[in-house]
Structure 1
Amino acid sequence: MSERRGTTKNFLEKLIADYNRNLQKRPVLTKAVTSASIAALGDIISQALFPSPHTKHRFWWRSTFAYATFGFLFNGPLIHHFYIWLDKLVPAGKKPGTGIKRVLFDRLILAPPYLLLFFYVVAILEGLGSDVAIQKIRDTFWTALKMNWRIWTVFQYINVNYVPLQYRVLVTNMVSLIWTVYIAAKRRHDA
């Protein structure tokens, strides 16, 4: 039993060391790959838990591809650069209100357009077309944005104020796994 635990510990240590090495060498690519993997996993879990009647409850690989592509092309790189910009715009410090300002920028400046981009791009990548993408935005955006503000605000306060810059996208992706399951299920339900 302890040999297995040692093997698992060595595997995790190696995985963390490899991640940190890649994060130093290719931070944007590393965050893009991580974002794509977690977004795809979130969609897979969502399809398993909430199968769509529109696909006759069959697995829809194109949806998983759409989520992974969005994660790779948009989420990883965009969030990486946003956090760098945020640290320059509102440097962490002891000034009163700094933490609140940082989270307000995230919640009010990034979240709404990011969610619009997400809904539109994923629908296009799923092959649904622009008209359907716009209708999906009309049907789900406001509800999803309010839920985003409810779920993510406390988490993002901690993330943008206490997590080291190089790990913020990874931590966001870990919480985003649950969010992706929710948002994917919501999109399917409202379809």
Structure 2
Amino acid sequence: MATTATMPPIYLHKHFFHRIFPGKPFFIQIFSAGALAAVGDILCQKLFEKRDKWDPFRTSRFALTTAIVIAGNKMSVRTGLKRVLADQSIIAPTLTAAFLFSVNFLDSFSAQSAVQRTKRIYFDVLVNNYKFWPFVQMVNLTVIPLQFRVVFVQFFSIFWNIFLSFKTNN
């Protein structure tokens, strides 16, 4: 029987989360997405914006929005190419707008300000989304085993979240 000392690192997170949240894979997905979004925002603040002081409220808003808007989305399109096409033509523009508006609204608590800030960065974020996510999703859906797909996407989400955090806060 394997113990946590003898398990390969890729299985340690699975063992840990399934012990804490037994039978709750969707909650694990939401929690993981929020946690990795927080990591992306912290890295953005410290490494790219070179802030002296970390803003935990900004990180919390960013992580919460990611967990609810992005990870909370269940989509069941069967084939890889159809899924990527549907994701990038329908889901990505909609979720990008919803995500940007949510982050901007939680920052300003003004719908008018949130709409203006979202309009200002939406096209640039969407274009960069099209440069980044289709390739990641095709690899994810055609090469990565099912049980590792969420972890694979969330790893790349760290880099995407750095970009999103930078765009929404500058």
| Alpha-carbon distance in structure 2 between the residues aligned to 1:158 and 1:182 | 21
Counterpart among 53, 62, 68 of residue 67 in structure 1:
62
* Aligned-pair CA distance for 1:20: 5.6
Compare 166-175 and 151-160 and name the one that shifted more: 166-175
- Counterpart residue number, 1:48: 46
Corresponding position of 2:150:
169
User: Which residue type is aligned with residue 176 of structure 1?
Assistant: S
Q: Which consecutive unaligned segments of at least 5 residues does structure 1 have?
A: 1-6, 93-98
Q: What is the identity, as a one-letter code, of the residue corresponding to 2:127? A: K
Greater helix share, structure number = 1
Give the counterpart letter for 2:69 in structure 1: F
What is the alpha-carbon distance in structure 2 between the residues aligned to residue 32 and residue 177 of structure 1? 14
1:35-79 CA distance string (max 9 Å, x none)? 110001110110112338xxx85422221011111122222221x
Structure 1 position 101, deviation (Å): 2.2
Structure 1 length as normaliser, TM-score? 0.75
Larger Rg: 1
Name which of 79, 86, 101 aligns with 2:82.
101
- Written as runs of structure 1 = structure 2, the 5 A alignment for 1:5-154 is 10=7, 12=9, 13-19=11-17, 25-51=23-49, 58-78=53-73, 81-82=74-75, 85-86=76-77, 91-92=78-79, 99-154=80-135
CA contact (8 A) 2:69 2:95 kept: no
Using the size of structure 2 for normalisation, the TM-score is 0.84
Deviations along 1:71-122, one digit per CA (max 9) or x if unpaired, are 22222221xx11xx21xxxx34xxxxxx432211111111100100110111
Write out per-residue CA displacement over residues 135-185 of structure 1, whole angstroms, 9 at most, x where no aligned residue: 111111001100100011111112233334454333221101001101211
Runs (5+) with no aligned partner, structure 2: none
- Decide whether the 8 Å contact of 2:104 with 2:118 is kept in 1: no
Identity of aligned residues (%): 24
- Partners of 1:23 and 1:104 in 2: how far apart? 33
Please state how far the C-alpha of 1:18 moved relative to its aligned partner: 3.0
Query: How far 1:133 sits from its partner (Å)?
Result: 1.2
